[in-house]
A and B are shown apart, each in its own frame.
Chain A
Amino acid sequence: MRLSAHYIKTTASVAAIIGCLGIFAPFSANADEASDIAAGKKLAFDRKKGNCLACHQIEGGDLAGNIGPPLVAMKARFPNFDSLRAQIYDARVKNPNTIMIPFGPHAVLSNKEIELVAKFIQTL
């Protein structure tokens, strides 16, 4: 847990730059980016993988739960891609007693999968 917090801090400035770039990214979105986002969506909706719909409303998903906040306007809430990824990797860093699954530390999703899910979530 301490490690991730440290990771967030030290990468914050780098991430801020990436975040800014991200704002302009859609105009140059290439095929790879689009397929990453599609793969991320599939992982997020898959009951055996992210199953994010269990707790979050997400556009395009049915029968969503309401335990967590609806995932909307994500770029405004998480301008920084790395902090969005960190939230999905281990929500306990921000809220030690969270009900949200520690996807990374408990190996529910691999780092690569978390990256893809975060890319998708960022488009919401």
Chain B
Amino acid sequence: MNKIALVISAALMVATPLTSMATPDQDLKAFRKHFTDKFPKIPFSDFVNGVYAVDKASREQWEAFEEFPSYEPYIDKGKVLFDKKFANGKGFADCFPNYKKGIRQNYPYFDTAKDEIVTLEGSINKCLTDNGEEPYKLKKGKITYVGAYIAYLSRGKKFDIKVPNDLGAIKAYNRGKEHFYAKRGQLNMSCADCHYHYAGNHIRADVLSPALGHPTGFPVFRNKWSAKSASGDGMGTLHRRYGGCNKQVRAKPFKAQSDEYKALEYFETYMSNGLEVNGPSQRK
């Protein structure tokens, strides 16, 4: 990074309220405490279950769904894709040598050499393109199958996202944090309005999930997405879901894997450190 860019970004950081004051670690402690204080009866580990952690009424039906999960066939499809050799004879295992031990818990991470956030979906597609294959579409389909298989093998591992002491990393983290707290759209609401301040409240008939644990179960199979697809495939990535939430407040969604959503994912996943990987999951 050249000098001018450094000065500008440093100035931006200073101009940003909230963000420049607290370190990511201080943020994390306050964030976690907000939810554990708000929901004193819910064990920390249960925040991986999204809205079902806080909504007793729908939990039972969801548990019944989870007994015969709709996402299961897509884990199998993911395994087939994962094990299939590319035209050059290599495969995903060459890109993800530790996949059997579980790797989902380390995504997204910040690559200081490239000065960018690396997501699991980004790495899946990079593996394809590095090996001369076509990349997958970003919100649904094969990218969610391979993602589901990788998440499945990582179940039970605890999220361990790092924000290295690096200007680019801190900028990326703050960008995600700002997106989370910023009002947007014609309806002027922030992620924090719904998933931090009013988590557990009803918005119409829906209960709002706590942001703590948001990314842990992704990719997810949603009944709503399934109903919209001709084949009944309800799988979607976290960024697909982000787009839906932006639309609800009449804001223009960003593209899946845009810098904006990668930063939001980086912030939300860092906030969820210490929780277990439980993807793929079932959602209504």
Contacts and interface: CB of A to CB of B under 8 A. Distances in A.
Interface of A: 51, 53-55, 63-67, 99, 101-102, 106-108
A94 B36 CA distance: 29
B23 interface: no
B186 A106 contact: yes
Contacts of B197: 99
A22 to B, nearest CB: 30
Interface residues of B, number: 13
B188 A101 contact: yes
A67 B187 contact: no
A108 B201 contact: no
Contact of B202 (A51, A65, A102, A108): A65
A54 B198 contact: no
B187 to A, nearest CB: 5
Given A106-B186, A106-B187, A108-B186, A99 B193 contact: yes
Given A67-B198, A99-B194, 19 more contacts: A51-B204, A53-B204, A54-B203, A65-B201, A65-B203, A65-B204, A66-B201, A66-B202, A67-B201, A67-B202, A99-B197, A99-B198, A101-B187, A101-B188, A106-B187, A106-B188, A107-B186, A108-B186, A108-B187
Contacts of A63: 204-205
Interface in B182-215: 186-189, 193-194, 197-198, 201-205
A64 B189 CA distance: 19
Given A99-B193, A99-B197, A99-B198, A64 B186 contact: no
